[in-house]
Amino acid sequence: SRRLPDGRYALRIGPPLPNFPSGDDVRDASAVNRAIEIGVREAPGQYLWGHRRFRTRPRGEPQFYRARRDRNLRRYSRALLLVSLPAIGYTLWQAWRQRDPAYLRERLGFGPWPGGPFDHWFHAASVGEVNAVAPLIERLRERWPDARVLLTVNTPSGRRTAERRFGEAIAIGYLPIDWLFAVRRFLNRIQPRNSLVVETELWPNLYLEAHYRGAPVSLVNARLSPRSTRAPVWIQRILGRTLESVHTILARSAEDAERYRQFAFPAEHLEVVGNLKFAQSETAAATPFEADRPYVLAASTRPGEERRLATLWQRLASEALLIIVPRHPKRLKTILADLADSGLPVAVRSRGEPVTDRTRIYVADTFGELPAFIAGSRFVIMGGSLEPFGGQNILEAARAGKAVIFGPYMDNFADEARLFVERNAGRQVKDDAALAEAVSDLLVHPELAEAMGREGRALMDEMAGMADRYLDRLCERLPRFRPAPPSGSRSTDSASPPR
């Protein structure tokens, strides 16, 4: 067709292409392109190309066109808008409570974040994820000391943990809320060559923007809960759309990998590597907390569990002290109300109350002291597993050589729980009666607790190379994972990792 001066169009219908289709795709495509070229040459000024011809780029390379936001992403943006005011309010409250203005600025998307470009950007939601990825970052920096590394977190406690682990060796900041303007400002500032997210943090706007900039996100120690595959259909569609922007998934277990496959993630870019939390850092052992008598530690307890533990302790004839380290110390008022029903004398660490001969329960509602309490305990009861919260990480107890008891709700740590039971490094109990029996057994026979602790420590030693395993897989799968050599220097990409 050709536009005429009076605004009308002249349509010319030519003869059919000879021997078309021929069965040869290349020949047929060339014939079509020649026919288009002939038409364009008749009126070049009227030619308009509307086809996104280069929309399919090599995996991990920058895209030529702006990201298209389909119905699933638009629906996500509307849902995000609905929770924006509560999110802003919570961020303001947390920033005031923690006296942390950087938390307010960076989470709301105003920065300034550490300036890029960075060879590697890692994101770890909070304390547990920071501790999991720390050995990987340390091994990476041993291989490439000059690599620029950024670690972002979501919480002030996560940042404090990162600062204690790394000091000024790497840059540390907060990830902004997943608003589009905030994500774009963040990525413009940090300019990552590689983007790596620990475990399960799926942010559609962030992942899509990183993908189009040629720094697509890869998931390390990736896990996906069974609830994700049972979520409402519209949420599953958003998750599936988010995963389309992911470059590589290195899963911690076969079960997690299978859940990602249910969202149609390509099998050739998905691999089971193992649980990164088994990796060990070269850090000094925690100084054990010392009480006036032996104690049992209930670690990372969640709502409802303190009351059950107090009832158990009321019935036990043991002189041992019970120390409770809650997952969220801000629940202290509720915890004390639950413990009051037992009638047992309670002391609270944040109030400076001492442990006396009469004290039966000590509530350690502080941050950063859990390793010390684990190190000094007879054995550990893991919270989050007695009530349906999915469990907590039991590896830290094993690393310290401590036996661990956990309840039936270990959905988020099912592989670790199964392995601990198989190796007799831990005991899983199904109810309060079984819990009382296990606690009494280990108190009466401390040699059993010591043997379980040795098994746990041996298991951790066997898995000590997990960080190197992840690092090797990332080098194999991500073309730009090795840092670019400084200008004028020889590349060290082929350097073998130190062992």
Instruction: Give the integer Cα–Cα distance in Å for 120 and 250.
Output: 16
| pLDDT at res. 458 | 93
SS3 content of the chain, % helix, strand, coil (to 5): 45, 15, 40
Which stretches of the chain score pLDDT less than 50? 488-499
Into which CATH architecture does domain 295-462 fall?
Answer: 3-Layer(aba) Sandwich (3.40)
| Cα 434 to Cα 110: distance, rounded to the nearest angstrom | 52
Active-site residue, from 129, 199, 305, 416: 129
Q: Give ranges for CATH 3.40.50.2000 in the chain.
A: 295-462
Contact 143, 127 (CB under 8 A): no
CB within 8 Å of 225: residues ≥ 6 apart: 200, 259, 390, 411, 412
Per-residue exposure over 206-234, b if at least 16 CB sit within 10 Å of its own CB, e if not: bbbbbbbbebbbbbbbbbbeeebeeeeee
Per-residue CA distances from 124 to 62, 97, 289 (Å) = 24, 22, 28
Residue 282: predicted pLDDT: 59
User: Check: CATH 3.40.50.11720 for 71-278?
Assistant: yes
- pTM for the predicted model, two decimal places: 0.71
The answer to whether 463 and 279 are in contact (CB under 8 A) is yes
pLDDT score of 58: 76
Which value, in Å, is the radius of gyration of the alpha carbons in the chain?
28
Distance separating alpha carbons of residues 424 and 437, to the nearest angstrom? 16
What CA–CA distance (Å, rounded) separates 477 from 100?
Answer: 38
Q: Tell me, what's the pLDDT at 496?
A: 38
The reported pLDDT for the residue numbered 498 is: 38
In the chain, CATH 3.40.50.11720 sits at 71-278
Per-residue tokens: 39? 């038409």
Report strand pairing: 2-3 vs 9-10. antiparallel
- The percentage of the chain sitting over the pLDDT mark of 90, rounded to a whole number, equals 67
**Is 290 one of the catalytic residues?**
no
Residue whose tokens read 């309010």 = 89
pLDDT of residue 491: 41
The pLDDT assigned to 119 comes to 94
